[in-house]
């Protein structure tokens, strides 16, 4: 059976593989992926491109048995989250694939993978611009380089937090970390809410606040670690009221017994940002227009580093999050 799969892939060939699964996803300036490069869409004189890259590795970021459709959506949405963090509108992306055709049914796997990309391209209004494929001996490795557009005055960075700013976050926190524990059989998930969050993040793609927020970051490595990035790059202190952190009701029991799961778990892909209180009304109006949940969880203060407050107002020490190395 395995030899049939290899023969099928070799017969299909790289270019037939690209034409079948990925040319239908190509944007106008990618010319059906038939050339050596794509042209980026033109910009206005007041805008600039922002570019980011993110990867998924089988056995690290997804399980071998995960749905290829969900893997595709997770890959694209992780990159879309970076666009939100920069205040940018996504315009297109480049896709690189590395896999061993002996280890999977190529046609079945990539048919589902393509369907996931096509669904999210329509949902988020962007298209494929190009990419690369290669054969490897290990597991599946996937990479997207995403291109976005942002007004020069609307770029959101990590280094602009000011003393007196409020700290806000979109969505709810900790769902993906709990989902990973569910997949590992360490906790139960009767409603499948956490497992679905692990496979399918939901970044607030249309919630752009670069023109009114002072600093921002997407929560990919964990709430605490990403807060530390803002505090360090802005050279300020950040005080967080831990009981204000937004949770799903199903997550509350785990927060009470294992708060580190919520505070240090990664893959939330929500926007964490600071904003001057005078801009709060404008921000809230945008959140309401896009049906985005936003919660104030702290403030920017004098000092350096992160300060977590418990119910008694005492500062708790704590620093953690996902470490890539």
Please name each of the domains of the chain with its CATH number: 2-154 (3.30.1330.10), 166-316 (3.90.650.10)
Higher pLDDT, 225 or 9: 225
Higher pLDDT, 255 or 45: 255
Give the pLDDT band of residue 36 (cuts 50, 70, 90).
confident
Residue with tokens 């580190």: 260
Q: Residue 158, class by beta-carbon neighbours within 10 Å (0-12 exposed, 13-18 middle, 19+ buried)?
A: buried
Give the list of residues 6+ apart from residue 186 with CB closer than 8 angstroms, or none.
none
What ranges in 205-275 are assigned the alpha helix state H?
223-234, 252-257, 259-264
pLDDT of 5: 39
pLDDT of 189: 83
State the average pLDDT over residues 132-144.
Answer: 95
Across 36-45, 68-77, 240-249, least confident range: 36-45
pLDDT of 33: 82
Give the pLDDT band of residue 6 (cuts 50, 70, 90).
very low
Higher pLDDT, 250 or 324: 250
pLDDT tens profile 98-129: 999 999 999 999 999 999 999 999 999 999 99
State the average pLDDT over residues 6-14.
Answer: 53
DSSP 22: T
What ranges in the chain are assigned the alpha helix state H?
2-21, 68-86, 106-124, 175-183, 193-199, 223-234, 252-257, 259-264, 280-289
| Percentage of the chain lying above the pLDDT 70 cut | 92
pTM: 0.88
323: pLDDT strictly greater than 70: no
56: pLDDT strictly greater than 80: yes
pLDDT of 317: 47
Long-range contacts made by residues 130-134, C-beta under 8 angstroms, separation at least 24? 130/26, 130/30, 130/33, 130/37, 130/38, 130/94, 130/95, 131/22, 131/33, 131/94, 131/95, 131/96, 131/97, 132/96, 132/97, 133/14, 133/17, 133/18, 133/96, 133/97, 133/98, 134/96, 134/97, 134/98
* Mean pLDDT value across the chain: 89
pLDDT of 7: 37
Give the pLDDT band of residue 9 (cuts 50, 70, 90).
very low
Residues 175-194, buried b or exposed e (16+ Cβ, 10 A)? bbbbbbbbbeeebebeeebb
* Closest alpha carbon to 313 in 231, 226, 243: 243
pLDDT tens profile 80-95: 999 999 999 999 999 9
pLDDT of 243: 92
pLDDT tens profile 264-322: 998 999 999 999 999 999 999 999 999 999 999 999 999 999 999 875 544 554 454 43
Across 190-194, 222-226, 321-325, least confident range: 321-325
pLDDT of 315: 52
- Cβ contact 206:288 at 8 Å: no
């Amino acid at each position: 059976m395995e030899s049939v799969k290899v023969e099928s892939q070799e017969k299909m060939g790289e270019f037939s593989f690209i034409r079948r699964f990925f040319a239908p996803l190509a944007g106008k300036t990618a010319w059906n992926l038939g050339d050596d490069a794509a042209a980026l869409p033109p910009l206005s004189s007041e805008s600039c491109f922002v570019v980011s890259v993110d990867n998924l590795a089988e056995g690290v970021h997804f399980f071998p048995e995960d749905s290829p459709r969900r893997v595709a959506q997770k890959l694209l949405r992780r990159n879309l989250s970076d666009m939100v963090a920069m205040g940018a509108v996504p315009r297109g992306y480049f896709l690189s694939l590395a896999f061993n055709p002996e280890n999977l049914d190529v046609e079945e796997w990539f048919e589902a993978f393509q369907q996931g990309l096509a669904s999210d391209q329509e949902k988020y209004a962007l298209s494929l611009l190009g990419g690369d494929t290669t054969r490897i001996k290990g597991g599946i490795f996937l990479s997207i380089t995403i291109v976005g557009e942002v007004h020069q005055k609307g770029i959101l960075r990590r280094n602009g937090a000011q003393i007196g700013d409020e700290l806000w976050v979109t969505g709810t926190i900790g769902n993906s970390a709990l989902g990973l524990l569910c997949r590992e059989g360490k906790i139960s998930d009767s409603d499948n809410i956490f497992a679905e969050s692990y496979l399918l993040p939901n970044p607030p793609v249309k919630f752009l606040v670069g023109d009114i927020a002072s600093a921002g970051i997407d929560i990919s490595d964990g709430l605490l670690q990403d807060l530390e990035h803002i505090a360090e790059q802005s050279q300020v202190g950040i005080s967080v009221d831990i009981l204000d952190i937004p949770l799903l009701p199903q997550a509350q029991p785990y927060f009470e017994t294992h708060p580190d799961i919520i505070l240090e778990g990664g893959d939330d892909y929500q926007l964490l940002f600071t904003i001057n209180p005078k801009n709060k009304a404008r921000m809230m109006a945008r959140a309401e227009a896009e049906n985005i949940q936003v919660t104030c969880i702290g403030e920017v203060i004098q000092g350096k580093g992160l300060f977590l407050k418990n119910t008694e107002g005492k500062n708790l020490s704590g620093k953690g999050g996902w470490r890539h190395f």
